Amino acid sequence: MRDDFYLTDEQRGMRNFVRSIARDRIAPLAAHVDEAETYPAEQLELLGEQGLMGLYIPEAYGGSAMGTLSFCLAVEEIAWACASTAVIYLVQYAGGWPIVAAGREEQKRRYLPRLASGEITAAFSLSEPGAGSDAASISTRAVRKGDRYVLNGVKLWVTNGSQASVVTLFATVDRGRGKGGVTAFLVEPTFPGFAIGKLERKMGIRGSPTVALHLTDCEVPVENRLGEEGEGFKLALRALDGSRPAVGAEAVGIAQAALDAAVAYAKERQQFGQLIASFQGLQFMLADMAMQVHGARLLVHHAASLVDRGAASTALESSLAKCFAADAAMKVTTDAVQVFGGYGYTREYPVERFMRDAKITQIYEGTNQIQRLVIARELTGR
């Protein structure tokens, strides 16, 4: 299916390069990463060596400045091979993009070249025990004391939080101001009062560590505040608008892998003296799966292209892309298990892993219920 006619030669070449690396070097390790819940350090090092960690980072700081669409193309190919590696790779955008967008020059020079080379990884920390979908109600407190802020609170669901060398973390300087008090900080794990908490045991993306972070009188230098006080909520929303297409790309990659596996199996498996691919009921199922994958990919690419063009607002398109692609991935992977029948329910084949990995895309970066709220509000102007 030729669906890349709108890509530039540079984008197409980069995608093909990532596809080759992902399928040859990352995919063979994916089952072990999942089964052993092993951090894919070797795979991430490979991506760094190949210059793929800095696709969204300006050239002045060691990146290639290829933009959000190129980043999404890379995410899809990596997700096809290993969703755990892909989610760590894409959270680099969520954690690093705010530095590109709002960082002072000294902050950019301190962090961006090391992120671009893969020397360090980043994390993004917004959620808390009492603030998931309602991000404006975060309670982690930041109190300025001279040349530093003292942070107290607990953050949850921090992807890559146990491995990151810098965490873009959101706290409030004044709960009474609601979202107007939310402020962003660049927190390093070496800061006094920073501790890694519970490591979650997850259904899918099991090689990607998800942890709680405990801040107990955590001392953060004033120079590590990202932007001004009270600008954090808008910065977080902008980061999410940019990263949601990448989550959609992850979902597309998982769904494409499931579709490819289902088609291959249908062309090999025989029942009633013929290939199961010859049965119309299964043909219709495969056709529906292909339509879901193709439609999701186009929505993701459209949203990413708007981000690259500097559109004034991409909230609608980003939510459309993330929501549709995540729902599509869940439907396609579930159908892939059905195509495989009893074998699909076993770990002998990868489709059960694809189904488990797909589920999280409907939940993180804003649940799909929240995406529908965003879509409705954008449509009605409320």
Question: Which string of DSSP letters, residue by residue, matches 260-271?
Answer: HHHHHHHTT-EE
Selection from 239, 367, 241 nearest residue 306 by Cα: 241
pLDDT of residue 133: 78
With H, G, I as helix, E, B as strand and everything else as coil, classify residue 47. helix
pLDDT number for residue 205: 97
- Please check the confidence at residue 280 and state whether its pLDDT lies above 70: yes
Which residues are identified as catalytic?
365
For 186, half-sphere exposure in the C-beta direction (CA atoms, 13 angstrom radius) is 27
Residue 3 pLDDT:
63
The DSSP secondary-structure symbol of 146 reads T
Query: Cα(333)–Cα(262) distance, rounded to whole angstroms?
Result: 9
In this prediction, residue 134 has a pLDDT band, given cuts at 50, 70 and 90, of confident
Specify the pLDDT at position 290: 98
Q: What is the dihedral of CA 227, 230, 231, 235, to 10 degrees?
A: 110
pLDDT score for 2: 57
Query: Is the per-residue pLDDT at 62 higher than 80?
Result: yes
In the predicted model, what is the mean pLDDT of residues 101-125?
A: 96
The SS3 assignment for 128 reads: strand
Contacts of 305 (CB under 8 A, 6+ apart): 68, 69
Write out pLDDT tens, residues 151-182: 999 999 999 999 999 999 999 999 989 899 99
Distance CA 365, CA 249 (A): 13
* Alpha carbons 287 and 176: distance in angstroms, whole number: 53
| Domain ranges, ordered by start, for the chain | 9-121, 123-228, 233-380
Q: What is the pLDDT of residue 240?
A: 87
122-125 vs 141-145, strand pairing mode: unpaired
The pLDDT, as a whole number, for residue 296 is: 98
Q: Is the pLDDT of residue 4 over 80?
A: no
| High-pLDDT (> 70) share of the chain, % | 99
Quickly state the pLDDT bin for 131 (edges 50, 70, 90): confident
Largest CA distance in the chain: 79
Q: In this model, does residue 1 exceed pLDDT 70?
A: no
pLDDT for the residue numbered 109: 98
What number is the average pLDDT over the span 68-82? 97
Helix, strand or coil, per DSSP, at residue 216: strand
The CATH number of 123-228 is: 2.40.110.10
pLDDT value at position 242? 84
Cβ neighbours of 191 (radius 10 Å): 18
For helices 315-340 and 280-308, what crossing angle results, to 10°? 160
- What average pLDDT does this structure show over 343-359? 97
| Mean pLDDT confidence for 127-150 | 91
Output the CA angle 309-105-192, nearest 5 degrees.
115
Q: How do residues 315-330 score in pLDDT, each as one tens digit?
A: 999 999 999 999 999 9
Q: For residue 382, is pLDDT > 70?
A: no
- For tokens 């219920």, the residue is 369
Q: What is the pLDDT of residue 333?
A: 98
- Which amino acid is residue 133, in one-letter code? S
Task: For domain 9-121, say whether CATH 1.10.540.10 is its number.
Answer: yes
Residues contacting 7, CB < 8 A, separation 6+ = 15, 69, 73
Is residue 204 predicted with pLDDT exceeding 60?
Answer: yes
Rounded Cα distance between 93 and 102, Å, is 14
Classified by CATH at the fold level, domain 233-380 comes out as Butyryl-CoA Dehydrogenase, subunit A; domain 3 (1.20.140)
pLDDT digits (tens, 9 = 90+) for 284-320: 999 999 999 999 999 999 999 999 998 888 999 999 9
The DSSP call for residue 131 is B
3-state secondary structure of 165: coil
How far is the C-alpha of 94 from the C-alpha of 124, rounded, in Å?
Answer: 6
Per-residue pLDDT band for 137 (boundaries 50, 70, 90) equals confident
Alpha helices in the chain (DSSP H): 9-21, 27-36, 41-49, 67-81, 83-102, 105-117, 232-266, 280-308, 315-340, 351-359, 368-380
Residue 5 is predicted with a pLDDT of 84
* Residue 29 three-state SS: helix
Distance, CA of 126 to CA of 155 (rounded, Å)? 7
- Residue 40's pLDDT is what? 97
* Tens digit of each residue's pLDDT (9 = 90 or more) over 219-258: 999 999 999 999 999 999 888 888 999 999 999 999 999 9
pTM over 0.85: yes
